[in-house]
Structure 1
Amino acid sequence: MRSAELVQLLPNVFQRAPQMGRRWKVLLEAMEGFHAPSEAALAELDALFDPRRTPDGFVSFLARWMDLELPVTTGLGRLRELVAAGAELSQWRGTARGLLLFLSTATGRRDFELDECVLGPDGVPRAFHICLRAPEELLPHRVLLEHIIDLEKPAYVTYELHFTASEAVGQGRR
């Protein structure tokens, strides 16, 4: 806030005081200096809540707000993308589309395959059971993938997670 703006906020008696000279000018400059850090922070407040522009240390805080406390081993950039996609992920929670979207956002890969009709040893489809195939390059991130599957699948659904060579995994169904 500039000195001229500060004077406008003061009572009338003080607004006429600029004729007092140097002391008044120094006091107004000091007040202006006290406001500068707050104004700078407020000018960039929107960046603080944008997961793609926020400082690195604030991303995990935003992730907690979005209920995304995950062991994200794929990097800070992926966590930023998860937070940015939080509303859409929430909208599709508990669906095959939501699970695949979550996995793709968390890993940056789109080559997951979800089979919702898994046959049992007797050849009969297993009720409430899914099989998810992921590229073998994601094997080091198995804990993350299992955590996401546990969060996103309905509670009554069981699952298998298999890692396959990239060329064997097709484009995941959406």
Structure 2
Amino acid sequence: MVQSRTQAPVSIQLTPMQIPEAVPRSAGWTLMNAGGMDVAERPGLLLHPDTPSEIIVQIQNLERRTLQVNLDLSIAGNFPAEWYSIHTEGTEIAPGAQMDAAIYFNIPATYFEGRDAIVPGATEKLDLDFISSLAIKIDLDTDRSQTYYEEFSLHIRPYSAYMDFLPVLYREVDFIGRFMKIFEQAFQPIIDSFEVMWANLDPLTAPELILPFLSHWVGWDLDPILDRNQQRRLMRRAIEIYTWRGTRRGLRLYLHLYTGLPLDDNIPDETAKHISITEPIGESFVIGEARIGEAILGGGRAFHFAVTLRPDRSQQIDERLIRKIIEQEKPAFCSYELSIVNRE
């Protein structure tokens, strides 16, 4: 609703940026001012807690001289002054020009959950509707001024998305909007939980209390030696680790998830990788070149491999835990040697 009144020497227009679809009169009662104007006839601004809103004031100078204008706002009832502010483009209006001003409102997010609103047996009810009076003081000359008053109402309501699903006929009833908010607060957390159910089933984002269930789901034993972030990464890739257990790829993946060292799949040279797993096997036995005491059949130890980790200087790696991982992932008949070399 827009209210416009033309009074010499200015024309004043109020434009609320968010108009309420329902006013208290729809619930069976009416707010009246001294002049007999009820709340449905004056401009109304809808306010939601923690949501900024504003009402635009346009003042046009109908005189042929410059006017000095000052704005002041008074709100009946217990409406704190820190909940609103007035912003203007100045105080002077040139002849025939227009000055725009804005009144900004911001209701605290805890308005309906504050102590005053939920005290059992309270005799005073929470105020939801207020009558505001905007005083526009105009200096006609050096010793004369005139003040004009424009009234508008404020309606504080909880935001309810459920109202968008109702026909317009029901949205025009103020009581239904507040009544639907009760059901929204009761059922919306359940609906929200379904929308984020995937996060509860992902080990990286699941709450800590659900981790034992997820570990049992994939057959992964939670090791108290590992921290929670390592457990989450390993649990998420558990099926892949099981698939490649006993292979170079599976061991490298496990060490990557524990240490955070890169896999370096794009590096063809195995000895240049952060996690290097090699088999020290040289040339096979060659007749005529072997010497007594130096011959090694097959060129190396059978079923033996070497693991070399190359962390940065600042990265700490628990060698005891690395050996435990290798013992768990390697075939039982294999032997190994471990080296941790600073990359720098």
TM-score for both structures, normalised by structure 1: 0.62
Q: 2:230 aligns with which of 75, 78, 81?
A: 78
Ranges in structure 2 where 5+ consecutive residues have no aligned partner? 1-161, 163-178, 263-273, 283-293
SS in 2 for 1:83: helix
8 Å CA contact 1:63–1:79 kept in 2: the answer is no
Cα distance, 1:115 vs. partner? 1.6
Distance 1:63 1:122 in 2: 50
Judged with a 3 Å threshold, the aligned counterparts in structure 2 of structure 1 residues 132 and 99 are, in CA distance, closer, same or farther, namely: same
- Structure 2 counterpart of 1:161, which letter? L
SS in 2 for 1:145: helix
Cα distance, 1:163 vs. partner? 1.4
8 Å CA contact 1:71–1:144 kept in 2: the answer is no
Q: 2:211 aligns with which of 59, 69, 88?
A: 59
Aligned equivalent of 2:306: 131
Distance 2:224 2:341 in 1: 22
Q: How does 1:19-30 map to 2 (within 5 A)?
A: none
8 Å CA contact 1:114–1:131 kept in 2: the answer is yes
Aligned equivalent of 2:252: 100
Distance 1:64 1:140 in 2: 27
Distance 1:88 1:39 in 2: 33
8 Å CA contact 2:304–2:335 kept in 1: the answer is yes
Aligned equivalent of 1:116: 279
TM-score for both structures, normalised by structure 2: 0.35
How many residues are paired up? 147
SS in 2 for 1:165: coil
Distance 2:215 2:320 in 1: 18
8 Å CA contact 1:118–1:130 kept in 2: the answer is no
Aligned equivalent of 1:164: 341
Cα distance, 1:48 vs. partner? 1.2
**What CA deviation, in whole Å up to 9, does each residue of 1:50-70 have, x standing for no partner?**
112211343354234332433
Judged with a 3 Å threshold, the aligned counterparts in structure 2 of structure 1 residues 58 and 156 are, in CA distance, closer, same or farther, namely: same
Judged with a 3 Å threshold, the aligned counterparts in structure 2 of structure 1 residues 90 and 76 are, in CA distance, closer, same or farther, namely: same
8 Å CA contact 2:222–2:231 kept in 1: the answer is no
Between structures 1 and 2, the one with greater strand share: 2
Cα distance, 1:100 vs. partner? 0.5
- 2:321 is the counterpart of 1:144: yes
Could you say what the CA RMSD is over the residues aligned between the two structures, in angstroms?
A: 3.7
8 Å CA contact 2:310–2:340 kept in 1: the answer is yes
- 2:225 is the counterpart of 1:48: no
Between structures 1 and 2, the one with greater helix share: 1
Structure of greater Rg: 2
By relative contact order (CA 8 Å, sep 6+), the higher-ranking structure is: 1
**What CA deviation, in whole Å up to 9, does each residue of 1:39-84 have, x standing for no partner?**
55444332211112211343354234332433554x4333222222
Ranges in structure 1 where 5+ consecutive residues have no aligned partner? 3-25, 168-174
- Structure 2 counterpart of 1:87, which letter? I
Judged with a 3 Å threshold, the aligned counterparts in structure 2 of structure 1 residues 164 and 93 are, in CA distance, closer, same or farther, namely: same
